[in-house]
Amino acid sequence: MSTKSEAIRPVNIVSEEKPKDNGTDEETEDEWEKWRRAGVVAKEALALARPMIEPGTKLLDIINTVENHIRENSSGTSFPCNVSLNNIAAHYTSPLNDETVIEEGDLVTVDCGSHVDGCIADTAFTVALNPDHQDLVKAAQTATKVAIRMMRPGAKLNTIGALIEDTITSAGFQPIKQLTGHQLKEYELHAEKQVPCVSGKSEVLVEEGEVYAIETFASTGSGNISDLPNPTIYQLLPIRVPVRFKGSKQFLGIARKEYKEFPFAERWLAERMKHATLKMAIKELKKNGALFGHNILTEEKGEFVSQHEHTIIVTEKGHEQTT
């Protein structure tokens, strides 16, 4: 799942070396094994989604298939499965009873995340049902591959961003300027460091032992996105606020226990709360600053956006891809 930059997201092991040992062999192996297991589950979930991408399939059916596999085989989702069509760049997950279906010629992106005891995997791909969009799909695939190849201790994130931008523009498209890859930490989907899709002035370096979701976005449009109203994905902020409405207390009780720090779908709460109660709870919690909505992000109508993403662990001399 992408992060929006305010300034303007088979196991492939590049280095055979495992992340540096900072304790006993058993402790280190256990630490990274959870990240690897999360990666396997997320990769499997996307593999289940791929054959479902055809005209007539409901987005909600794909989402349920992906999310159910992740829940059954890991500690849970690290964010709701996103399925984006055409000019939607990120953050669309189905509302309750969504009837949206894939149409002939659509460009379809599936983005999912899992975690094992807070150790996260985040991965995405795009499928073009119109052969004319295959070059757009390939542009994001290639840019992500180029970025991953550069991930090693000491690499400059702005240099990687410049390479992503050059790869996508050389293919005849534009990178999405406001979306970035992102560092992952335990129970933290969007940690401090970002991997931009464009060049910049930041001198932030990649360090050994870090984990990143490397994701790139290629657009047929200008590369600028806008927020749509009415988000379908929310996230609790780490603050305590007084609430008056009984429904808000119910909302918080569910979200804190089951989703913790991770983003969650409004649909999940809608399955357990009355519609009016849920809407009133969201309104109060947003007003109090306890709830953040991840707006659906979109390019101009008529344009198309592709995405490609993998999770990697930075090793002493390179990286290990987990998805």
- Which residues form the catalytic set? 111, 122, 182, 190, 215, 309
Q: Minimal CA–CA distance to 91: which of 219, 231, 291? A: 231
Contact 273, 251 (CB under 8 A): yes
Q: Residues near 259 by Cβ (< 8 Å), separated by ≥ 6?
A: 236, 268
Q: Minimal CA–CA distance to 42: which of 139, 137, 110, 88? A: 110
Contact 232, 88 (CB under 8 A): no
Residue 140 neighbours by CB distance under 10 Å: 31
Q: Say how many residues make up the chain.
A: 323
Rounded Cα distance between 87 and 304, Å, is: 4
Rounded Cα distance between 209 and 195, Å, is: 16
Q: Note the Cα 309 to chain centre separation in Å.
A: 8
